A and B are shown apart, each in its own frame.
Chain A
Amino acid sequence: MIIWDALISQPRADHLIIAKYIVIVLSLFFFPYISILFGSLLYALGLNVKGRADHNPLEIRLSADIMTTFGGGLGRGFFLGILPLMVIGVAFAQILYDSDFNVVLHFGTILVLATLGIIFSFFARNYALEIEAKEKLFRITATLAIVFLFLTIYGFVATTSLMYYPGKWATMKTGLPTLFSAIVFVRLLWALTFSLGLTAVAMLFFFFIWGDGLDFGSDDYKRFVRYFVAGNAFLFTLLQPLFVVWDLYIFPEIGKTAAVYNLSAGFVLLLMLCGIFLYQVIIKQNERLGSAVFPLYILGVLLFFISDHAGRETAYQEHTNYLLAQAEQLKQQQAMEAAPAAEEAVSKMELGKQIYNIRCAACHAFDRKVVGPPHFDVLPKYVDKKEELVKFILSPVRVNPEYPPMPSLGLQPHEAEAVAEYLLEEFQRQKQASGQQ
C-alpha cells in the first residue's frame, strides 16, 4: 500500500488522459477474466452436483472439461486478474487524486478478494483433475472460490458505481466498498448474467471452434455439450438488455451524457447479433454458425466499458477540472522555480513574483486599470508600510466604491509577505524606469 502511495504524485494533464485509457483497456482484461473464472466454476459445480443426483455421466464429464479448460492457473490469474486490477487501481488513484474517494481502501479490498478467489479456483481445478477421488474437496474449494469471486465482482461494481456519487465519497471514505443502492443491485444482476453468458460463449468458442477444440469422443456427448453451451449463452444474452435498460432508467443525473445512451444502444445491438447467431446454432445444430459470437461479446463489453467510463467522467468532471487547474498552477510554479534556481538570495522575491503572476496579474497591472486599480495609483500610500499591505492582501476591505471589492485570495501569511515585498520593490523599480524616460 505504501508503494501505491509512492507511485502516485499529483497528476499532470496528460496523466489523466493516459489513466482513462488504462482503465478502459485493462478492465477489458480484468473483468472478462474474472467473469469467466466465476462463470466456469458455477457451471462446473452445478453440473457436478446435478450429475451426481441424476446419475448423468455426461454432466459429470462436462463439469471436469470446463474445469480443465477454464480453471485458474496461478500465472494466468496473476497476469489477467491481479496485475490489471492493480494498474486500474493506480490509474484511478491518479484520476481521483486529492479527492475524498479512498482508492487504496476500495481497490485494496477487491484485490484481496480477487486473490483469494483465484487461489481457491486453482485448488478447485487441481481437485477436478482427480474428480473421482477428490470430489468433496473440489466442491468445497469451488464453493469458496465462487463466494470470493462473487464478492470481487460485487466490490468492483460497487466501487465503480460509487464514483458516480462525488457527494457520497466523504461518507464512504473509511468504509469498505459497501455501497448498496438500486444502481449497484441492477449492475450486479447485469454482471452476473454477463458472466454466465460470456462463459457459455467462451465454451462454445474454445470447445468447438478454436484450434482442435475439445476431444468429445462420442456424438452423444458432443450434442449434449452443444445444447448446454448454446442454450445458456442464448438465455443469458437475452437477459442482459433488460438490465442495461433498467440501469439507464435509474442512471444518476450527474453522469448523464449522450455517449452513455449511444454506446449502450450499440451494446444491445451487438447482443442482438449474438442472439441471432446462437439461435442458429441451436436450431441448425451447427456450432460453426456461432464462431463470431465470442469476438462480438468482447467488442460488446468494450463498448460497455467506454460507456461506463464516459458516465463516470461526466459525474466527476468537477474533480477533473480541479486537478487540471492544480496541474496548470504546478506547471507555472515549476517553470518559475526552474529559472532562477541558482540564486538563493532572491528566492523570496521570486516567490513573490510567482504568486503575483499566478494570483494577482489577472486583475492588476501597474499602469492601467484591469479589474482592480492600477498599482501606480494605490501603492504610494503603502510605501514603507509593508505590514498594512500584507494585511490588506490577507483580508481585503472595500476601499474605492468605483471598483468591485477585491476577493480574499486565501494566501498564507508568508506568501502575502513575499507578494507585498515584490510589489513594493517592483513599484520602486518601475517608477524609476518611467521617471528616467
Chain B
Amino acid sequence: MKEKIIPIGIVGYFLLMVALIGVLGWYWQNFQKTPVQPIEFPHNVHVGKLKLDCQFCHKFPSKSKFATVPSVKLCVDCHKTAATDRPEVKKLLKYWEDQVPIEWLKVYSFRKNANVNFSHKPHIRAGVDCSTCHGRVDQMITARKTRNINMGFCVSCHRQERAPTDCWTCHK
C-alpha cells in the first residue's frame, strides 16, 4: 500500500504546482492582460517617429478630470491622406465612413468599489512625467500596462513629494 501512496503523492504535489501556475496564467490572461484594441494604434510611430505631443491627442480639458482618448475625427485629419495603404489605417477610414466611434478598450482603470477620485491635472501641473505612471508610451506599439497602479504606488509618491495623503484626497 505504502509503495503506491508515496509516488502518487509526489505526482499529485507536482501536478498541484502545475495547476497553480495554470491558475495564475489564467488570471493574467483574463483579468490583467492588456486588451486587444479594435485598431492597432502605434504610439511609437506617432510619438517616437512623428514626435507628436501626448496632449495633441490626449487633451486635458480644464473641466474634465480625464485624459481623453482622441476621436476618429482627429485621426482622419491626417489619415485622409497619410499612410492610407496600411491595413490598420483602412480599418480606421471604415469607421470614419460608417460614422461610428471606435470603442477603445481601457488599459488603465481602478477597481470600481475603491471609489478613487483621480485627476491628471494636479500631476501634470506638478510636472510628474507621463512615463512615471504609464511607462515609455512613446516606444509602445499599442499602449500597454507596465505597472499595477495600486494605492501603495500613489501613496508612496505622495509621501515622497509631500503631496496630501489624507484618505479623502483620493477617495470620495
Contacts and interface: CB of A to CB of B under 8 A. Distances in A.
B13 interface: yes
6 contacts: A253-B145, A254-B146, A256-B32, A261-B24, A318-B139, A321-B140
A166 B17 CA distance: 30
Contacts of A363: 50, 78, 82
Interface of B: 3, 6-7, 10-11, 13-15, 17-18, 20-22, 24-25, 28-29, 32-33, 44, 48-53, 56, 74, 77-78, 81-83, 131-132, 135-136, 138-141, 145-148
Contacts of B20: 245
Interface residues of A, number: 44
Contacts of B82: 362-363, 370-371
B51 A407 contact: yes
Interface string A270-284: 011001100100010
Given A261-B22, A370-B82, A403-B77, 5 more contacts: A242-B17, A245-B20, A253-B146, A261-B28, A276-B7
Contact of B7 (A256, A279, A409): A279
Contacts of A279: 6-7, 10
Contacts of A166: 135-136, 146
Interface residues of B, dominant DSSP: helix
Nearest to B22: A265
B136 A241 contact: no
B135 A245 contact: no
Given A265-B22, A275-B10, A318-B136, A369 B81 contact: yes
Contacts of B77: 403-404
A363 B7 CA distance: 68
A408 interface: yes
A383 interface: no
A306 to B, nearest CB: 15
Contacts of B29: 258
A11 B11 CA distance: 46
Contact of B14 (A167, A248, A252, A275): A275
Given A319-B139, A321-B139, A404-B77, A245 B17 contact: yes
A408 B53 CA distance: 9
B51 A256 contact: no
A238 interface: yes
A322 interface: yes
B74 to A, nearest CB: 8
Contacts of B11: 272, 276
Given A321-B140, A410-B51, A269 B18 contact: yes
B143 to A, nearest CB: 11
A371 B21 contact: no
A249 B147 CA distance: 15
Given A256-B33, A271-B14, A407-B50, A244 B139 contact: no
Which are the 6 A-B pairs with shortest beta-carbon distances? A261-B25, A272-B14, A241-B17, A318-B139, A318-B136, A321-B139
A137 B148 CA distance: 52
Given A241-B14, A272-B11, A279-B6, A325 B21 contact: no
